[in-house]
Amino acid sequence: MRRLGLLLIAVLLLPGVDSFSTARAQARRGVAGAGRRQPPPHVLFDRLNRMKPDQRQRALERLPPERRRLVEQRLERYNRMSPEERERLKDQYDIFRQLAPENQQAVRRMFNRFSSFPEERRALMRSELDELRQLDETGRRARLDAAEFREKFTGPERRLLEDLSAALPAPE
Amino acid sequence: MRCPMQTNEGAGALLAYCSGKLDADGSALLKRHLEECGECRKVADAQKAVWSALDAWEAMPVSADFDRNLYARIEREASSAWWTRIFGPRRFAFRPAVPLAAACAAVLAAILIKPVPPPDISSQARVESVEIEQVEQALEDLEMLKQLSAVTRGDPARNL
């Protein structure tokens, strides 16, 4: 009877042992939970920068050569940015991350439209967008309706500026 | 009569009947039911067999000084320190330790022998892939935001 009891205890303990082994194995593998939130970029980049060269190489090799080259270039430029530049960009990115995924996608599509304009037009639009994003809804609407704005930008440019300034509020 | 096996109280009455503790009226009622109900009869027969076995069992005779030795030992145990009571030499008995040791060995073996699955290369690759894609997406988004704002473009000629 006593042996039976002990055997029963051992059997009851086994599932716990199994969980323990699994948890240990997962810890060794470094498997992260599914569905986790994407960390902010500086965390991602720091993680990549802290990787051993062979680990980093392995991670980058997951990408096709062209995309990999682009990532390496952009990462290098990011690493060369001054702390102030990074901070400004981080503020912008924090706002962008707070958007719903579908709105983020919408902004990306707007950016594709933006990229299709020549650089001199983009420079003008960029400055205008900064101004528009600083305004409240009434002020933004007034500026968009102003004659000066209409004369300065073409129809597609105006529509894009209107959409972008509505989708991307300025940092506090 | 409602079948005793269908209710908890009835099952109690059946056990009381088998041990002879049920009153006369209850016994008569139950006896009539047992003549009709095979399931209850089976339980009652088994229970009666247990009682018969217990009645037939004879306890081993104890020595004449059993009580005296027992009380003396209880007194000794009560006056000894708690650690002696737990870890004292008389406490350790080899026989009960054997199954305990066997159970411990079984648990230990389960921990040590159970093979830890080798690192899942595909899932590791998937994690790295996800992370690098996150990095790629974040870099793209940062570039986009930088391009969209004159404020974040410290040097207009330089892209991220």
Minimum Cα–Cα distance from B99: chain A residue: A3
Does B92 score more than 60 pLDDT? no
Distance CA A68, CA A64 (A): 6
A residues 55..84 contacting B (CB < 8 A):
58-60, 62-63, 67, 70-71, 74-75, 77-78, 81-82
A92 CB-side CA count, 13 A:
26
- Residue B113, pLDDT > 80, answer no
pLDDT band at B132 (very low <50, low <70, confident <90, very high): confident
pLDDT in tens, A53-76: 888 888 888 889 999 999 889 888
A15-48 pLDDT, tens digit per residue, is 444 444 444 333 333 333 334 466 777 777 777 7
Is the whole model's pTM more than 0.80, yes or no?
A: no
Cα A49 to Cα A42: distance, rounded to the nearest angstrom: 10
Whole-number pLDDT of residue B88: 63
Q: Report which listed range, A18-32, A34-48, A100-114, B11-25, is most confident.
A: A100-114
Q: Which residue has the higher pLDDT, A33 or A144?
A: A144
| CA-wise closest residue to A96 among B32, B142, B65, B21 | B142
Does the distance separating the beta carbons of A48 and B103 come in below 8 Å?
no
- CB of A39 within 8 Å of a chain B CB? The answer is yes
Report angle CA A18, B106, A4 to the nearest 5 degrees: 105
| Confidence (pLDDT) at B23 | 83
pLDDT at B118 over 70: no
The pLDDT assigned to B152 comes to 65
- What's the pLDDT score for residue B77? 79
Q: Decide: A153 and A165 in contact? Cβ < 8 Å.
A: no
From CA A64, how far away is CA A61, in angstroms rounded? Answer: 7
Environment class of residue B26 by beta-carbon count within 10 Å: exposed (0-12), middle (13-18) or buried (19+)? middle
pLDDT value at B18 more than 60: yes
Subunit contact A45:B138, Cβ cutoff 8 A: yes
Q: Looking at the predicted structure, is the pLDDT value of residue B140 above 80?
A: yes
Q: Which residues of A touch B153 (CB under 8 A)?
A: 126
Q: Does residue B111 carry a pLDDT above 80?
A: no
Complex ipTM: 0.71
Please say whether the dihedral angle defined by the alpha carbons of residues B15, B18, B24 and B26, taken in this order, is positive or negative.
positive
Q: Which amino acid is at B32?
A: R
Cα(A134)–Cα(A146) distance, integer angstroms: 16
